[in-house]
Copies of this chain bind each other. A is one copy, B any other.
């Protein structure tokens, strides 16, 4: 269950305080020019410290490609890659060895596996998303080579309930010792008609699966989404109209670019809601492994929101879903 995708597949491994994180992209077609600067820049966007609003902790996330590429071009064989973990302070986490952080994965991992890697959250750390960003960057290169006008763009539309002063809200919360969540909107434009599968492989289902697999994501909607819950059918239907060039378009796009699970050529847009980071700089009630009530105060260098760092992750997972859908679509007709 650490592989994502059907034909374009990312297998993802690694803990925050192990030797390295990494992955394997399998099913990447041959002949794709693998722009390493593009990939590294994509990864750099999710690094802490990238924005002045983020934590000061520095990670050197240098991507090392190990296979699948010859003279900068993919060969059709699997692309293995790693990112070394550096600058870890595992001893920071010693006191967490037997204590379950509230709203973290400590308790559930321990119950499931009988043990857990307590250092920095182990496998449940958001560090793992760097691997997705590498996979997504490769997917983006696949898509662009075939569909140069295809774009994927995520943006924060709401932070801590604030829609207009987002940077301000994050900074303010930081100063107040608080963490906050919010909403990211992502749009994919230039997706051809016909991607996605009916019934279980609906494009929106694949996107929802991708988004809800991101740490701290609590919900997903697309097109009219939750905001359309109160609307009448006559308000939401997207009338088809000739586009004047012999093709067909829609007058509105409440469908969010997907009808019957399949892209209709309009912009695909969706929202993902993220909860505030659960690591708080205050004393919290919790229990230890023996089931005793204890107090917990976490130190360490932590962000106060996942929103900024989640942007490239949302784009990356979208790119993987679309690259996968592009390949699956090749089997649609004899």
Contacts and interface: CB of A to CB of B under 8 A. Distances in A.
A23 B11 CA distance: 10
A285 to B, nearest CB: 4
Chain A interface bracket (under 10, 10 to 19, 20 to 34, 35 or more): 35 or more
A161 interface: yes
Contact of A208 (B12, B123, B193, B211): B211
Given A123-B77, A194-B112, A180 B233 contact: yes
A179 B232 CA distance: 6
Which of A145, A198, A236, A250 has the most chain B CB atoms closer than 10 A to its own CB? Answer: A198
Contact of A77 (B13, B181, B334): B13
A142 B331 CA distance: 12
A221 interface: yes
Contact of A194 (B73, B108, B230): B108
Please classify the interface of chain A as helix (H, G, I), strand (E, B), loop, or mixed, using the class held by over half of its residues. Answer: mixed
A31 to B, nearest CB: 4
Given A75-B116, A182-B229, A230-B160, A264 B108 contact: yes
Protomer copies: 4
Contacts of A70: 115-117, 122
Given A218-B224, A220-B212, A238-B102, A198 B123 contact: yes
B332 A112 contact: yes
Contacts of A254: 103, 275
Interface in A1-28: 1-4, 6-7, 9, 11-15, 18-24, 26-27
A228 interface: yes
A168 interface: no
A244 to B, nearest CB: 10
Given A13-B67, A18-B68, A208-B211, 10 more contacts: A3-B26, A7-B331, A77-B123, A108-B262, A112-B193, A142-B334, A158-B229, A181-B228, A218-B226, A248-B287
7 contacts: A70-B122, A107-B259, A108-B264, A123-B198, A209-B212, A225-B273, A242-B287
